[in-house]
């Protein structure tokens, strides 16, 4: 059994083109290449024992949401290259357009968790863990100024993450990442 498959290698190449080559995307408010995030999500999924398709979806999870207009990534494109399972998983965690107001966009994403499969829960859990581990690390270094780079204040940003964690834990309490999520909620509640 291969641990690092040609399909994973293709997904990494596709993700790097989408986030780095076409737009030099950075982590919010930092000079860190965005590609570090999907690779972290994939690593969390691999450590959780996820399937190849779920790990690949982790690598690609922001490609639809964050692709540039002239190189737009679609569900159909992902399905053609990586299969229907990967495309469905990526689509399940993709937020509606960033032109939609924050409250509406985040509310829709929160409600969608009710429809998640276990694999979607696992994928979204890894994303939440990666994002919030980085947020907590930044907060330990810069304090409340960390939230200056966000469109919403600390209370709203952290509150949304806590609601997502609560919904994910309720949807699949036996998830291999349930303990990580619970620990993340505890750490977020303390800031």
65 catalytic per annotation: yes
Among residues 66, 119, 134, 138, which one is catalytic? Answer: 66
Q: Are 105 and 134 in contact (CB under 8 A)?
A: no
Bridge partner list, 133: none
- N residues, the chain: 191
52 catalytic per annotation: no
Count of CA atoms in the C-beta half-sphere (13 A) of 128 = 34
What tokens appear for 146 in the block?
């960390």
Alpha helices in 93-177 (DSSP H): 102-112, 118-142, 154-171
- Position of tokens 């750490």? 187
What tokens appear for 46 in the block?
């691999």
Q: Are 181 and 126 in contact (CB under 8 A)?
A: no
Catalytic residue numbers, as ranges: 65-66
């Amino acid at each position: 059994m291969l641990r690092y498959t040609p399909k994973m290698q293709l997904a990494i190449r596709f993700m790097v083109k989408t986030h780095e080559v076409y737009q030099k995307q950075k982590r919010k408010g930092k000079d860190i290449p965005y590609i570090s995030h999907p690779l972290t999500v994939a690593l969390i999924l691999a450590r959780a024992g996820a399937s190849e398709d779920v790990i690949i979806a982790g690598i690609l999870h922001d490609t639809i949401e964050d692709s540039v207009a002239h190189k737009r990534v679609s569900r159909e494109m992902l399905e053609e290259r990586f299969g229907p399972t990967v495309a469905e998983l990526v689509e399940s965690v993709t937020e509606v357009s960033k032109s939609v107001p924050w409250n509406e966009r985040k509310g829709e994403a929160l409600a969608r968790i009710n429809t998640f499969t276990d694999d979607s829960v696992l994928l979204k859990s890894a994303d939440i863990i990666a994002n919030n581990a980085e947020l907590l690390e930044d907060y330990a270094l810069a304090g409340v100024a960390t939230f200056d780079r966000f469109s919403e204040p600390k209370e709203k940003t952290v509150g949304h993450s806590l609601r997502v964690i609560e919904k994910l834990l309720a949807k699949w309490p036996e998830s291999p990442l349930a303990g990580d999520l619970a620990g993340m909620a505890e750490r977020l509640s303390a800031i």
